[in-house]
């Protein structure tokens, strides 16, 4: 686990997605969770952060797609 310092900005290229879990032995193989996560680049790693733990905004001079 990593701690992201407060006040820092990180890039995400997609909207937050619902969390999922895969259970190969279950009748329903994929279970969708109730939380949403952003994928960010943190250092040289790809990381997931909960949507409720961050404040997302469009960077200055850029437009959302």
Model pLDDT, residue 63? 65
Model pLDDT, residue 51? 92
The structure tokens 């200055």 sit at: 60
53: closest CA among 4, 19, 12? Answer: 4
Which token pair is 11? Answer: 């890039």
Query: Quick check: 31 pLDDT over 80?
Result: no
- Tens digits of per-residue pLDDT, 34-60? 889 999 888 888 888 899 988 888 777
- State how far the Cα of 33 lies from the Cα of 11, in Å rounded to an integer: 24
């Amino acid at each position: 686990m990593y701690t992201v310092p407060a006040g820092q900005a990180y890039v995400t290229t997609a909207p937050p997605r619902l969390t999922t879990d895969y259970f190969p032995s279950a009748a329903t193989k994929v279970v969708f969770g109730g939380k949403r996560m952003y994928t960010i680049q943190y250092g040289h790693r790809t990381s997931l952060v909960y949507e409720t733990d961050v404040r997302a905004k469009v960077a200055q001079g850029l437009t959302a797609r």
